[in-house]
Amino acid sequence: MPLQTNATGEIFQGNDPAHPNPEQVLEFLRQSLISNGWTGQVSPAERAVGSRGVKFLANISKAGTAYTLEIFVFRNLAWAHRRDSEKRIQLTEDYDHHADEFQRAYDGNRYCLLLGIYAPSPDEVVFCAWKPSGYLEHANPTSCYTTVEVIRDAYLFGFGSTLDKKQRRTYAFRPNFFHYYISNISRLHSEGAIGDPPDEPEEDADQAPRLSGGSNIIRYGAPGTGKSYAIDQEIEGHRNFRTVFHPTLEQSDFFGSLKPVVVDEKVLYRFTPGPFCLALADAVNNPTQRVNLIIEELNRGPAAAIFGDIFLLLDRQSNGSGVYDIASPSPEFTQWFETTTGSIDGRVRMPSNLWLLATMNSADQGVFPLDTAFRRRWAQVYEPLNFDQAPEISFNVAIQGGGSNEVPWRVLAVEINAILTQRLMIAEDRLLGPWFVKAEDRNADGSIPGKVLLYLWDDVLRHHGREEIFSSDVHTYGELVLFMLEGRPILSNGLLLRLAERVVDAGPAALGADIAGRRIGADPAEAQKDPVAPPPEAQ
């Protein structure tokens, strides 16, 4: 059954959309080409091209730039009957009939375009594009392939790209990217069109080989599991750049943009690089060294929008270099990049010695979801709950009848997590991680840190289940703080009982063995049956 997609990026099984007729194709082209200040004409040529092809002529111009376009549109973009996700057009005319156009080089301002159209509705048009010279001397019929995933990427990000089995580069884009495609067509199709797939740019003969292995990695898990710590261990001794995503971050902040600077008491505008460009340039300039760009809290900002067209750079070859490159976004960036790195080709590609390392916790409130197209371009590393590595600190916990017990943090957190999972079915990525608190978080009076209480009260138990963790006498967070200041119990009787079983009746050695054998969500009596078995997270 063929796969389809739509403007929301959903992929589903269904029949191919109806093919647009020539009049509809003409209207799609006119709306795309004569827009955003471009003027000109789009008209049908004198003849059809094969059984489903139509040729159009377009002359468009804007601000001194003009193009003459001979556009072959094959309207039979449909399921290829090989793989469910594959789409194709078929060239159903003898090659001699359009040999002159297909052989035309991408120079000057006269181009030949080879297109297919995917249009579930007039408002969901995506153009698919192939390089005509990739099909020199083609047979009749000949298929030009793309995939539904590339069309989905065009819906989500405006632009998508892939290589077919013969390593010819194909594209898909929404109408508002049509002028971008034309303006960059020679660059977009400069590699991988007929022969080998794109490789890392050749190094100078006197330059050391570039370090390989770069990748995109997301570390995720509950808060306090040590995601950032694990990254710090990995990047120690390397060249590192760090940033944090947040809701108001934009691509211009992450990549870089024109900003005012004062030079000789004059205000000038110059390209100011963001963290991505700083890391990129450093990796280009230091080919034998590993360079890391660390992105903390990846999903606290709209990641796909922040990356923008940099998204295309995330696809990597086996050696870590980028599969695709993008055109320089502005002359100012080109000047800065050339000055900084000496690169003069005007292209941006991911070097094989640049690592992107990100952290995220999907359960946090106020985070942005990561769509599948974005996330599948990252390796996923889950950080489990492992209280063998928890800090050695204790907190004073008030008990019924007056007084308090000193409870190790690892005991307190494990018992709270057990109630959250066993009784309230809370997902693991919302539990307390072993490093949620550190030694410096201990208050002078030894009370439980406010960030633990507030996280449980306001984030984890906002809608239900507070009575499982907190005393039934506490009705507001303000009351909870007041009870704690007065030395009154703030934890539920059930939790206090669990803590007493772990602390009061066990010596230090037994306590250590007991925590080592404790499973999150396990009944206390069951956990005591095998006190030395390691927890699943540590296996």
Give tens-digit pLDDT for 115-161.
999 999 998 999 999 999 999 999 988 999 999 989 998 888 888 88
Check whether 534 has a pLDDT greater than 50. no
Residue 13 gets the label, from left (phi > 0), alpha (psi -120 to 50) or beta, of: beta
Residue range 425-434: mean pLDDT, rounded: 88
Q: Where are the domains of the chain?
A: 3-188, 216-382, 387-538
Name the percent of the chain lying above pLDDT 90: 41
Residue 317 has pLDDT above 60, yes or no: yes
For 217-263, the pLDDT digits (tens) are: 999 888 888 889 899 999 999 999 999 999 999 999 999 998 888 87
Going by C-beta distance under 8 Å and a sequence separation of 6 or more, which residues neighbour residue 135? Answer: 91, 95, 102, 114, 142, 144
pTM of the full predicted structure? 0.55
Domain 216-382 has CATH 3.20.20.10: no
* Collapsed DSSP state (helix, strand, coil) of residue 14: coil
CB under 8 Å to 275, separation ≥6 — which residues?
Answer: 241, 242, 243, 254, 293
Q: Computed over its alpha carbons, how large is the radius of gyration of the chain? A: 30
HSE (side-chain half, CA atoms, 13 Å) at 245: 28
Residues for the chain: how many in total?
539
pLDDT-based confidence at 515, cuts 50/70/90?
very low
pLDDT at 204 over 50: no
Contact 67, 127 (CB under 8 A): no
Identify residue 508 by its one-letter amino acid code: P
Mean pLDDT of 283-293: 93
User: In this structure, what token pair is assigned to residue 195?
Assistant: 């022969």
Q: Which letter does DSSP use for residue 322 in this model?
A: B
| Whole-number average pLDDT of the chain | 84
Sequence-ordered alpha helix ranges (H) in 362-439 = 372-375, 409-422
pLDDT higher than threshold 70 for residue 206: no
What's the number of CA atoms in the CB half-sphere (13 Å) around residue 311? 25
Query: Is residue 366 very low, low, confident or very high in pLDDT (cuts 50, 70, 90)?
Result: low
Looking at the DSSP bridge assignments, the partners of residue 88 are 78, 145
Q: How far apart are CA 198 and CA 397, in angstroms?
A: 62
Instruction: Look at residues 465, 458, 476, 488 and name the one whose alpha carbon lies nearest to residue 396.
Output: 488
Q: What is the pLDDT, as a whole number, of residue 191?
A: 53
Residue 40 has pLDDT above 80, yes or no: yes
Cβ-in-10-Å burial (0-12, 13-18, 19+) of 188 comes to buried
Q: pLDDT digit string (tens) for 452-506?
A: 999 999 888 988 999 999 999 999 999 999 998 988 999 999 999 998 888 754 4
Cα–Cα distance measured from residue 154 to residue 175, given in angstroms and rounded to the nearest whole number: 10
d(CA 325, CA 49): 33
pLDDT of residue 416: 94
